[in-house]
Amino acid sequence: MTDLSNPNPSAIGSSLLHIPDTQSERDERHLAIQRVGVRELRYPLTVRIDGRAQGAAATWSLDVALPAERKGTHMSRFVAWLDALAQSGTALDAAGLQRGFAEMLDKLHADEGRVEARFSFFIRKQAPVSGVSSLLDYQGAFIIERRGAATTLWLEMAAPVKSLCPCSKEISDYGAHNQRSMVTIRAEVKDPALAFEDLVRIAETSASSEIWGLLKRPDEKWITERAYENPKFVEDLVRDVALRLNADARIGRYRATVENFESIHNHSAFAVIER
């Protein structure tokens, strides 16, 4: 028995060599597990936005498929993979995530698996009239999965925009009710050149008006009039988003969701189009 009160490095090293690897033992229940891993794991992420590296605190879910004959997976290797990714300083984009995902599966000795990372990112925008510069925050997610021989990569982005009600404008002598809306796009990546900022532009150009973090009075006037001249129901907004997604050859399947946080009701209106 090793005496840990007076440790002998060579003796400790020898004892560690004999610690059993229970996870690698054979399981006789003959039941494969489709997904096993860790979720709600917070770890740093560097993401590439507008050609620049941007740090973020991401929430990760990582899993692999476990064959019927294996008792367990090595959970610590998920964290080891994330830590190596964080220390590398690599700014992830679609192509980089595909490479990293293959490394994770290899590290876990798995043929199938899934990675999901959710985070906030920022884009610097200039106000439409004054040109004053500020950051606006968006929600992003990488989702990549391998099942069988097929690997599928998704980018997900949520952008706040402004929408103005066409009915309110039509029936009112002056003014029209408007509200902030959220456009969420989950797009299957067919070309690694597809980036989060591309999805942001699809969402913002489909709205009654985009929004900014910092505005001067001339900008407020421009946005108010821009929205008034460009009214959209939630149905209009989601259809216009879908038309732009349909026209982009870099995108395969998608789910476009729009939610209007109604200003004259105590509920939201929403619409969804999937391809």
Average pLDDT over residues 235-258: 98
In angstroms, how far is the first alpha carbon of the chain from the final one? 64
Write the pLDDT tens digit of every residue in 154-166. Answer: 999 999 999 999 9
Identify the sign of the CA torsion 92, 95, 96, 97.
positive
Average pLDDT over residues 102-114: 95
Percent over 90 (pLDDT), the chain: 85
Triad 201, 207, 208: Cα angle to 5°: 135
Task: State the DSSP H helix or E strand holding residue 79, giving kind and residue range, or none if neither.
Answer: helix 76-88
Write the pLDDT tens digit of every residue in 8-44. Answer: 655 555 555 667 766 667 778 889 999 999 999 999 9
Task: Name the residue with higher pLDDT: 233 or 14.
Answer: 233
Domain residue limits, the chain: 32-274
Please state the pTM of the whole predicted model.
0.88
Q: With a cut of 90, say whether residue 269 has pLDDT above it.
A: yes
Record: fold of 32-274: Urate Oxidase (3.10.270)
SS3 (DSSP) at 32: coil
* Separation CA 234–CA 275 (nearest Å): 18
| Lowest-confidence segment of 8-22, 100-114, 192-206, 250-264 by average pLDDT | 8-22
| DSSP per position, 148-186 | TTEEEEEEEEEEEEEEE-HHHHHH-SS---EEEEEEEEE
Closest by CA to 64, choosing from 36, 100, 23, 24, is 36
Count of alpha carbons within 13 angstroms of residue 39, beta-carbon side: 6
Task: State the DSSP H helix or E strand holding residue 209, giving kind and residue range, or none if neither.
Answer: strand 209-210
Average pLDDT over residues 60-79: 94
Percent over 70 (pLDDT), the chain: 92
Residue 251 — pLDDT band, cuts 50, 70, 90?
A: very high
pLDDT of amino acid 90: 87
Task: Give the Cβ contact number of residue 85 at 10 Å.
Answer: 22
